[in-house]
Each structure stands twice: as structure tokens, then as C-alpha cells.
């Protein structure tokens, strides 16, 4: 490289300016893509998913851009500060998530208060900005935060009392025979399993179903013993098939369990496929979607049902027919 030392610095300054300009341009494009929900037609359940999977940003970079995007959408007067670098992308994102957390604990900022906060944060480092947040809300350090660090890992942080920590360690000691080097995560996993077994109505219903099925089988065996001489001219209706109610006569949305079980399911989640062939595969709020809509007379039979994530199910209007998604 033939640059002099001064030229190198000048050249870097020039490129950094261009980088900031293009960051702002990207943020403006993101605003429009998010507003038009274009991520849905591309087969993503959220804008975040599109930013990471389609545009290829890592989780942290994506969140910084999305949060900064939200901040300057509301406070567009700070766009030029992003461009000059007085407001860094990270600080803009931190301010946005601070405002969001404050609004969640019912301490919403007025527009003027938001402007005042951003002005206070101009030219500051992330650490200085964090100190500013702590001054405004000393309870902040007790608050729980979480962010994605990869597709299947989250970093959750919160502070706990010394007393709770002692109890956790005591429990780890008690379980030492199971796993002598138990991490807090694996302890939490065990505790959650215990809790779910006790409180999850789905699991309780599953256990009850198994119990009832066993009872039914025992009763059926006994009956076969008694009735083995008679001709079997009618098939015994299964306990599920007898589930006919007045509501069902009026066309119920209730999908019978055996139909539900017959719906094609390859375990890959949402079956929505974009025009370019990208399949969503989100497993968030998976639910059965009527291919021909229920309102328009679509049936509750498996042939008319497909698995969709919550986002795609809610936004049927943008969906092309993706009936054959699983066949691809
Ligand atoms: Zn989906």
C-alpha cells in the first residue's frame, strides 16, 4: 500500500463516513420492510428472523439495527446524529430498549422526555449511557433482561438475593449424587420439569387420557369375554367418535383428535413457503390452519388442514396456497 500515514487516516475517515451513511440507509429500508410486513411473504414469522436469516446479520447486530430503527422512526430528528456518529448504533439501540422496558413497567416517557433522554446520551459511550439509565431508574439492576445469542440460546440476566443464592446452592448439594457439577441451568431445567408435571394442564390431561384408555381397554376385554358368542354387526364407536355435541351440529371449529393426528407433520414446524421457496419452519404458536377457510365452508378434515406458526396463521391474506409445502 502506497498511502502515507496521514492518507491512511484520511482514507479510513472517508470510509467510516460512508459506512455510517449506508447504515442509516439500511435502517430506513428496514423501517419500510417491517412496516409492510414483507418478512411474512418471504416465509419468516418475524422481521427479526428475516434480518438474521435472510440478510445474514448475527443476533446482536440485528437487534441493534432493529432497535435503532424503532428509535429513529419515532424520533426522526436524530437520523443525522446517527450519520455523524454522535449517536452510535449501539447507544440508539440501548436507549430504545430502555424506553421499551420503562413503558412495560408503566413509566412511559413523553415525546419530549424521550427527546431529552436521547440528547443527554449524544456523544456518550454505552457504559456512560448505562449509568444514565441507572440514575433514572435505580431499580433497573433488579430487572430481568434477555436477548438471543444464537438461534437456540438466550442470555437472561437478573440479580438475585443472597438468600436465594444460598438456597440454590443448598439444592445443588442435595442433588450432588445425580450430578456433582450441576450448573444453575441444569438445576433450573429439573425444577421446571417438576413444576410442569404438577401444574401443566396439558400434561395432566395426557396422563388422564392414558388412564382412561387403559380403563377402556380393560372394560373392552371384559366385554369381549361376555359377548364373544354374538355376531358383531356394528362397530363399537371409539370414545372420541362419540364426541358429538350440539355445537358440532352448528359447524364447530373443533378439530377431532384423529383428524388432527392425520394432518401431515414432518416435525419441521410452519409449512408456509415463500415465492422463492423459503419455508418458514417456525415452531412458535404452531396451530392448524384451514386451507379453505372455515368461514367459507372449509372442512375440519385433515386434507383441509396444515400447520402454521402464529404469525402466518394471523396473516393469511398474504399467503399463496402452500398446500403442497410438505410434498416439496
Ligand atoms: Zn410461519
Domain final position from 106, 127, 157? 157
Task: Compute the distance from residue 86 Cα to the ligand 1 centre, in Å.
Answer: 39
Residues pairing with 305 in the sheet: 290
pLDDT of residue 324: 40
What's the gap in Å between 269 CA and the centre of ligand 1?
8
- Host H or E run for residue 149: strand 145-150
Q: How far is CA 198 from CA 172, 203, 205, in A?
A: 21, 8, 11
Query: Domain for residue 229, yes or no?
Result: no
Flag whether 151 is in a domain.
yes
Same domain, 21 and 151: yes
CB-based contact 248:240 (threshold 8 Å): no
In a domain, 57, yes or no: yes
What does the alpha-carbon distance between residue 132 and residue 135 come to, in Å, rounded to a whole number? 5
Answer yes or no: are the C-beta atoms of 118 and 97 closer than 8 Å.
no
Which residue from 128, 137, 55, 46 is spatially nearest to 90, judged by alpha carbons? 128
CA gap 285, 133 in Å, rounded? 34
The CATH code of the domain that includes 287 is 1.10.30
Ligand 1 centroid distance, CA of 306 (Å): 11
The alpha carbon of 310 and the centre of ligand 1 are apart by a number of angstroms equal to 7
pLDDT of residue 161: 83
Same domain? 13 vs 143? yes
Give me ligand 1 centre to Cα 42, in Å. Answer: 10
Task: Identify the three-state secondary structure at position 55.
Answer: coil
d(CA 197, CA 211): 16
Ligand 1 centre from 188 Cα, in Å? Answer: 30
DSSP 54: I
Domain range for 31 is 5-157
Kindly state whether residues 153 and 9 are assigned to the same domain.
Answer: yes
CA 263 to centroid of ligand 1, rounded, Å: 17
Q: Is 224 part of a structural domain of the chain?
A: no
Per the structure, the count of domains in the chain is 2
Residue 206 lies in a domain: no
Distance (angstroms) between ligand 1 centre and the Cα of 254 equals: 22
In this prediction, residue 98 carries a pLDDT of 94
Please name the residue that has the C-alpha cell 434480518: 51
* 285 alpha carbon – ligand 1 mean position (Å): 9
Q: What's the 49 CA to ligand 1 centre distance in angstroms? A: 10
Does 150 share its domain with 269? no
Same domain, 140 and 277: no
Averages of pLDDT over runs of 10 residues in the chain (328 residues) are: 89 94 96 96 96 95 96 95 94 95 87 96 94 88 77 84 90 82 88 88 86 89 70 44 45 83 88 92 87 87 91 70 42
Distance of CA 229 to CAs 197, 223, 234, 252, 308, Å? 44, 11, 14, 40, 49
89-104 and 59-74 helices, crossing angle to 10°: 70
What is residue 323's predicted lDDT score, i.e. its pLDDT?
A: 44
With respect to residue 216, please indicate whether it lies within any of the assigned structural domains: no
Amino acid at each position: 500500500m502506497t498511502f502515507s500515514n496521514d492518507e491512511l487516516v484520511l482514507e479510513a475517515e472517508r470510509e467510516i463516513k460512508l459506512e455510517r451513511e449506508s447504515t442509516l440507509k439500511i435502517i430506513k429500508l428496514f423501517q419500510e420492510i417491517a412496516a409492510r410486513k414483507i418478512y411474512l411473504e418471504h416465509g419468516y414469522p418475524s422481521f427479526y428472523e428475516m434480518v438474521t436469516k435472510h440478510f445474514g446479520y448475527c443476533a446482536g447486530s440485528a437487534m441493534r439495527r432493529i432497535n435503532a430503527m424503532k428509535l429513529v422512526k419515532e424520533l426522526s430528528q436524530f437520523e443525522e446524529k446517527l450519520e455523524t456518529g454522535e449517536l452510535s448504533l449501539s447507544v440508539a439501540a440501548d436507549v430504545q430498549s430502555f424506553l421499551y422496558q420503562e413503558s412495560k413497567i408503566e413509566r412511559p416517557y413523553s415525546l419530549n422526555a424521550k427527546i431529552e433522554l436521547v440528547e443527554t446520551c449524544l456523544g456518550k459511550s454505552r457504559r456512560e449511557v448505562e449509568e444514565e439509565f441507572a440514575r433514572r431508574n435505580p431499580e433497573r439492576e433488579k430487572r430481568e433482561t434477555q436477548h438471543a445469542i444464537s438461534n437456540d440460546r438466550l442470555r437472561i440476566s437478573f440479580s438475585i438475593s443472597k438468600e436465594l443464592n444460598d438456597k440454590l446452592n443448598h439444592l445443588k448439594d442435595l442433588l450432588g449424587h445425580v450430578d456433582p457439577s450441576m450448573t444453575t441451568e441444569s438445576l433450573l431445567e429439573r425444577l421446571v420439569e417438576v413444576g410442569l408435571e404438577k401444574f401443566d394442564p396439558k400434561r395432566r390431561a395426557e396422563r388422564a387420557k392414558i388412564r382412561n384408555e387403559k380403563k377402556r381397554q380393560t372394560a373392552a376385554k371384559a366385554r369381549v369375554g361376555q359377548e364373544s358368542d354374538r355376531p358383531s354387526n356394528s362397530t363399537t364407536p371409539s370414545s372420541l367418535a362419540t364426541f358429538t355435541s350440539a355445537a358440532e351440529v352448528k359447524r364447530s371449529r373443533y378439530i377431532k383428535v384423529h383428524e388432527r393426528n392425520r394432518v401431515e407433520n414432518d416435525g419441521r414446524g410452519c409449512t408456509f413457503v415463500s415465492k422463492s421457496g423459503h419455508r418458514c419452519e417456525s415452531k412458535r404458536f404452531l396451530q392448524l390452519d384451514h386451507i379453505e377457510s372455515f368461514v367459507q365452508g372449509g372442512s375440519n378434515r385433515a386434507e383441509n388442514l396444515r400447520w402454521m406458526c402464529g404469525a402466518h396463521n394471523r396473516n393469511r391474506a398474504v399467503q399463496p396456497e402452500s398446500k403442497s409445502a410438505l410434498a416439496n
